[in-house]
Amino acid sequence: SELRVLQQEKEKASKEKAKIGRKAASEEIQLDRLRSKLHDVLQQARVDQVDLSGTTKKRTRGGEEKENDDDMMQIKLPESQMTMASETEADTLQVTQTTDNSDAQQQDDGASLMIDFSRLKNHRNIKSNEHLEEILQKYVEEMSAIQAECEKMQPNMKAFEKFDNLTDRLKDSGKDFSNAKDNAQASALAFNKIKEKRHTAFMQCFNHIKDTLNSTYRDLTKSSKHPLGGTAYLTLDDPEEPYLAGVKFNAMPPMKRFRDMEQLSGGERTVASLALLFSVHSFRPAPFFVMDEIDAALDNINVKKVCNYIKRRSGDCQSIVISLKDMFYERADSLVGVCRDRATMGSRSLTLDLGQYDG
């Protein structure tokens, strides 16, 4: 009877063992499915070039595996989906990267893919499938929204062509700018040379007239009572670029204080103007002067002074003077008169050479 009881217990234990074995096999199959699903997710992430910050690769040497921390989990797959690297790594998930470089592929062989769940603090304690499905559905919706937004972003295939065109235009603009800059520099250099030449020519003329004016005005105004004569001078409004501004002319007759030209008498202004005219003529002499009644506002003393000055300059300057004063006639070398011809109802000219009466 004891033997029968033992046999019954043995049969009962065998049935319990078989039941546990079937349950373990079922759990193992379920675990293999989960591993396979996780492997597919990781592979799809690699194909989609999605960087999973929670995955790390770790080398195994001599069959020894090193764990970083409790949050690191090593993935095991069914034998049908495992890539074998060595006998000591037969139960470890091996990720083999296919590259054009065989050395790089050999280096990746034997690397176990470790899953780091340390960043999933909010979802590590999920207990129910409903909660898991809810979270997964949320992520799926977010992924769908991102994917739809990416699909809306249609790339502009002509952007590179436009970029190349803009680059070429930029290069051409750079060349044009460089050429324009060189031309501007050359023009500025030429302009400065002309400006300097202009300034030199102007100052040469100005300095000559300025130096000659004072002596000429002194000759026209000196007398026995005033042997030193008067003073006349020129000043520039803009010494840097004198040709762009004005030139002031001032004259002080003998024994008179400084006054503006507008405050001088008509005769004094006439003498000062003649002095300036003769000074300008001395810089670039003309063949002759034509003066029309310059003595109209002069008294006899100033007329005599002007006549004497013109007479002294007759050797290097010929003057044609229109005048009604007898004093000019006396100092002239020849006379030309115009009168009415009643016979022809017109006019005629008369000439008289006074040189034959000298001496």
pLDDT single digits (tens) 221-231: 888 788 888 89
Q: What is the DSSP letter of 67?
A: -
- Three-state SS at 280: helix
110 touches 58 (CB < 8 A): no
Residue identified by tokens 């100092």 is 331
Where the chain has pLDDT below 70, the residues are 1, 52-124, 359
Q: List all residues 6 or more positions away from 268 whose beta carbon is below 8 Å from its beta carbon.
A: 251, 253
Our CA angle for 75, 78, 82, nearest 5°, is 75
pLDDT at 90: 34
At 294, which amino acid appears? I
pLDDT at 114: 64
Instruction: State the CATH class of domain 195-284.
Output: alpha beta
Model confidence pLDDT, tens digit, residues 304-350: 888 888 888 887 888 888 888 888 888 888 899 988 988 888 999 99
**Taking the C-alpha atoms of 169, 175, 176 and 179 in order, what is their torsion angle to the nearest 10 degrees?**
180
Strand-strand pairing, 318-322 and 247-252: unpaired
**Which residues of the chain form CATH 3.40.50.300?**
195-284
Give me the pLDDT at residue 103, please.
Answer: 42
| Rg of the chain (C-alpha set) | 60
User: How many residues are listed for the chain in this entry?
Assistant: 359
